[in-house]
Chain A
Amino acid sequence: MFSWDLLANAVVAGVLLGGFYAAVSLGIGLIFGLLDIANIAQPAFVILGAYAAYVMNSAYGLDPILTGIAFTPVFYVLGAVVYRIYYGSFERRGEESLRGLVFFFGILFIMEVSLSLKFGVDYRLVQAGYIGKSFELAGVGVSFRYLVPCVVGVAMTAALYLFLGRTFYGRAIMAVSQDQAALRLMGANPVQIKTIAFGVGIAAASLAGALLITIAPVIPSTDRDYIGRMFAITVLGGMGSIGGTLVAAIILGVIESLMATFFGPSWSLAVSFGILLAALAVRPAGLFGR
């Protein structure tokens, strides 16, 4: 069944899927990769973002991506509050490892149940002019439903990369991930810096959720489908490497797409995670890890 046409289509579809995976994984890349906080609840925040996009779309006809952008300040504040609770309850007492994990598990379940109670358990979808449409370029089909999330995902990666590398707070976040004591000696408050970083990570979930509901219908428990992929991409890219997250996401996307096209979609996830294990065996710190 092999043809060059199918191969080109599979690679392009994989790259587009990878761009979306990057958008979904950036928040966890920041929170888990840089701050070393195992925020298991991150996918639930993504689903919350998806529901925000659904509400604004169904009630006011607002474009889901625009809603995702508009809600980032709200999610930032939400993230900052969650981190402060986490810090006050666990991190300050040095109990963050296991109890902190339980805390985030708790948040995940509370958010799932709250969404179920508020919105019920029907599948929710959004309407947008680009959903269901596609165009063809040199024999390669491109779905707008994946192109838009990919472009936004790459833009988010670039923005976060520039923020971390070029701004004072960005550099402070990089510093806090390396040596908190040294940062404190420089007169910066690590807790404040981590609050900002956590808030930015959760703000990214707002946009990621909007992209997710653009691609597929969601129910409150959809978050469980993404936990594994998000952490796998972060680890494969290298803990704390934002560029690495994008590369890892694209690798996973392309492998999934190639497997689905040529060898049977059942193998997609197994091969993707097999490659993750092989890559970690060769480079335990991930592709771009320090």
Chain B
Amino acid sequence: MTRTRALIAVTLATLVVVAAAALVPVARAADPIKLGFGMALTGGLSANGKPALLAVEIWKDDVNKKGGLLGRPVQLIYYDDQTNPSTVPGIYTKLLDVDKVDLVISGYGTNLIAPLMPIAMERKLTVMGMFGLANNEKYQYPNYFQIQPAGPDPQTSTAIGFFELAARQNPKPQTVAIVGADAEYPQNALVGARELIKRYGLKTVYDKTYPPSTVDYTPIVRAIKATNPDIVFVASYPPDSVGMLRAAHEVGLQPKIFGGGMVGLMFTTVMTSMGSMLNGVVNYDFWAPEPPFLAIPGIKEFLKEYQARAEKAGVDPLGYYLPPYSYALVQVLGQAVEATKGLDQQKIADHIRATEFNTIVGKVKFGKNGEWAKGRTLMVQYQKISGNSIDQFRGPGKKVVLYPDEFKSGNLIYPYAAALK
């Protein structure tokens, strides 16, 4: 009797253990690792959000072709944030609580990263930021890492190369006009520009902002021209970048150096449409098809794949601005997962903080506030562009890198008017 009872007890206990084991979710080899994010697939930033998504998809396919991460396939779960920051908390709450994602990355852009920060901090997530400017300056959250190569001082990063190049000219330019849109990025860039103007001992003769919905930029450019500045620094989004450049040509604004922080000029449709009007503009950028960048392992294969898929995806056909960095961002995350052999958020963050990664944009090492330990915002000059052919932008020589010196691929044509000839 006692033996029978013991047998029943052991059988029941075994059943309970087996049942419990069946109920507890255990990651099996076939279970995908879920990477979740919101992305601007519609709305104002979608021209960058959609190429960024394509780059992440290419990374996922590349990883899965090689057997996945930790032997498990990678699955992307993403939602359109509509370029609307108010959608971000809902999207990430769903990703974490309903979709049960294992890893998160941010959507594209400063405004869309900002609402993610409190959620990431509350849940102690490791979060990779995609092109956010100074998002972590106030939070100082240790598990945030940002892929835009702004460096430890993101506010001055857009403008530093521009003013550094200006200061190297002889005679040194003296007066400066700064103008930008009433929006998050341009305002940050203008704050940085003001700081640099003080640092380089320049005199401000014009400092104004304009609403993003401005239609006619000629009155603004004419007002700038009336102050006769040596330097014109513009912090603008794509429609205003085009508007300002066209107006500069129509009004005949020819300072000694022109450009700075004009988002959109590097987009392929804008480059091909603006054509020779771009000549002489000195502008920030993050990537250019110049020898120092084309030599980095993996980049040529990535661009080949991206360009093959771009037309079908309806995105920028060359993908020289954001896509390489979007790919690099998930490369870093993937390498950290492999190195830590798990999905522990803290271990992943600790590894990312301590490691230098090899990516398709070069070596990436994070430093203060999760920004790149050393900034690498480029200053390029558009040179010798003629006509509107896309092919001229595929190779070197049209977007010459002037700054920083270690990536320099050509010389500044100075003053601006000389490059227009």
Binding site for B on A (CB under 8 A): 1, 3, 6, 9-10, 13-14, 16-17, 20-21, 112-113, 116-127, 131-134, 141, 143, 145-146, 215-217, 219-222, 225, 253, 256-258, 260-262, 264-266, 268-269
List, in ascending order, chain A residues with CB within 8 A of B50's CB: 120-121
Task: Provide the main secondary structure of the chain B interface.
Answer: helix
Measured CA separation A256–B211 after assembly (Å) = 11
Q: Is B210 an interface residue (CB 8 A)?
A: yes
Measured CA separation A127–B273 after assembly (Å) = 7
**A264 x B209 contact (CB < 8 A):** yes
> Which of B118-126, B239-247, B347-355 lines the interface with chain A?
B239-247
Given A13-B219, A132-B246, A216-B215, output 11 extra A-B contacts at Cβ < 8 Å.
A3-B226, A16-B216, A122-B47, A122-B267, A123-B267, A219-B46, A219-B47, A220-B42, A257-B216, A258-B219, A266-B209
| Residues of B378-421 contacting chain A, CB below 8 A | 388
Query: How many residues in B have their beta carbons less than 8 Å from beta carbons of A?
Result: 47
**A117 x B314 contact (CB < 8 A):** yes
Checking A113, A116, A134 against B250 with a beta-carbon cut-off of 8 angstroms, the contacting residue is A134
24 contacts between A and B (CB under 8 A): A9-B222, A112-B42, A116-B46, A120-B313, A123-B238, A123-B242, A125-B273, A126-B273, A143-B247, A145-B246, A215-B215, A216-B239, A216-B243, A217-B238, A217-B273, A219-B44, A256-B219, A260-B219, A261-B223, A262-B223, A265-B214, A266-B210, A268-B214, A269-B213
Q: Is B208 an interface residue (CB 8 A)?
A: yes
**How would residues 294 to 311 of chain B score, 1 for a CB under 8 Å from any chain A CB and 0 otherwise?**
000000000000000000
Q: Is B182 an interface residue (CB 8 A)?
A: yes
With both beta carbons as reference points, the residue of chain A lying nearest to B273 in the complex is identified as A125
**B219 x A265 contact (CB < 8 A):** yes
Checking A124, A222, A268 against B210 with a beta-carbon cut-off of 8 angstroms, the contacting residue is A268
Taking A120-B314, A260-B220 as contacts, is the C-beta distance between A265 and B226 under 8 angstroms?
Answer: no
Task: Provide the main secondary structure of the chain A interface.
Answer: helix
**A265 x B246 contact (CB < 8 A):** no
Closest 10 CB pairs between A and B?
Answer: A120-B314, A265-B210, A125-B273, A121-B46, A260-B219, A134-B250, A143-B250, A225-B213, A261-B219, A122-B269
Checking B216, B242, B247 against A256 with a beta-carbon cut-off of 8 angstroms, the contacting residue is B216
List, in ascending order, chain A residues with CB within 8 A of B230's CB: none
Taking A6-B223, A217-B238 as contacts, is the C-beta distance between A143 and B277 under 8 angstroms?
Answer: no
Measured CA separation A123–B215 after assembly (Å) = 15
Measured CA separation A131–B41 after assembly (Å) = 30
With both beta carbons as reference points, the residue of chain A lying nearest to B209 in the complex is identified as A266
List, in ascending order, chain A residues with CB within 8 A of B86's CB: none
List, in ascending order, chain A residues with CB within 8 A of B238's CB: 123, 217
| Residues of B314-367 contacting chain A, CB below 8 A | 314-316
Measured CA separation A127–B276 after assembly (Å) = 12
